[in-house]
Amino acid sequence: MPTPREIKRRFVSVKNIQKITRAMEMVSSVKLKKARDQILAARPYARKLSEIAHHLQTKSLASLSPLLIARQVKTINLVVVSSDKGLCGSFSANILKKSMEFVRTHTECKVTLTILGKKACDFYGRRKNYSVINAYNDIFFKPGYERVSEIGQKLLDDYLNGAIDEVDVIYNEFKSAAVSKTMVEQLLPIKATEDEATSKIATDYLFEPGAQEVLDAILQKYFLFQIWRVVLESYAAEQGARMTAMNAATKNAGELIEKLMLIYNKARQGLITKELLEVVSGAEALK
């Protein structure tokens, strides 16, 4: 039986941990709100962009741009979006598991990796049998559009000069604070979507300088924006996952504290009883 003092020490340390997890929960709930605002702020741009992209696709310009034409796939670049920090449950583990599965199942072509987030950087840094092209371990500290579009631009250049034939992305999509979904999406070549509703309202645009140039420019912007969206989604999902994980940790710590409290009281009572017995039996012996 541990002494009451030992139990007390454990009790205090659990309580301190609980304080930390509670604080972290609150911090990530604030960050989650910010991330959500950013997603909302990006929505008008996203809506406009996809409206225009739809217009253009329905105007049978599709064959004009290399970004829309699927070619024979020899090399796939997989963008793995994880987090910079841990303590967010299975957030990064899911991504890593899915990405390894992706590499395993695509044996017919070469798979190269572009990595976002420190967790995945560390993970693939230890495994030398994957070909990592680019790794970024500091973008989630303060996600900004310019930095992210640089990453996208590199992928775009590689795609246009033929070094890669397809770009896919693995990330956690933000559903709600507690729920996120691991998604695998193809970003390049851009998949043409046949949408009846948008084709009806398609407008005849004048293009300047020319249809080809405009289409190229817009599709490139579209791709860069997709990457930005993925980063935002993932960032929000990370904060949500951390909030949930920390909430659970706080709850568990609470349960542990209750249990320890019970054991502590029992031990304390036991000690008092023991001392009393000693006193009584001592007095008895003196008679």
Partner 1 sequence: MANEKTYLLEIVTPQKKIFSQQVQFAVFPALEGEIGVLPHHTAFLSPLACGKVKITDAEGKNSYCAVCGGFVEVGKNSVSLLAELAEFASEIDVERAKKSKTDAESLLAQAQSPAEKAAARLKHNKAITRIAVAKQAALSKIE
For binding to partner 1 (CB under 8 A), which residues are involved? Answer: 38, 41-42, 44-45, 48-49, 52, 145, 149, 203-209, 213-214, 217-218, 221, 225, 228
**End-to-end CA separation in angstroms for the chain:** 33
* Measured distance CA(21)–CA(257) in Å, rounded: 14
Cβ proximity to partner 1: between 232 and 245 the closer is 232
- Looking at the DSSP assignment, which residues form a beta bridge with residue 169? 79, 185
Task: Assess contact for 229 and 42: CB atoms under 8 A.
Answer: yes
Task: Assess contact for 225 and 51: CB atoms under 8 A.
Answer: no
CB of 37 to partner 1, least distance (A): 9
Cβ proximity to partner 1: between 198 and 252 the closer is 198
Cβ proximity to partner 1: between 209 and 282 the closer is 209
CB of 176 to partner 1, least distance (A): 23
CB of 199 to partner 1, least distance (A): 15
Cβ proximity to partner 1: between 130 and 145 the closer is 145
* Measured distance CA(112)–CA(80) in Å, rounded: 10
Cβ proximity to partner 1: between 206 and 286 the closer is 206
Strands of 18-74, DSSP E: none
CB of 55 to partner 1, least distance (A): 9
* Measured distance CA(28)–CA(23) in Å, rounded: 9
The SS3 of residue 78 is strand
Among candidates 94, 91, 32, 95, which has minimal Cα distance to 240? Answer: 32
Task: Assess contact for 90 and 109: CB atoms under 8 A.
Answer: no
CB of 124 to partner 1, least distance (A): 25
CB of 58 to partner 1, least distance (A): 14
Cβ proximity to partner 1: between 38 and 182 the closer is 38
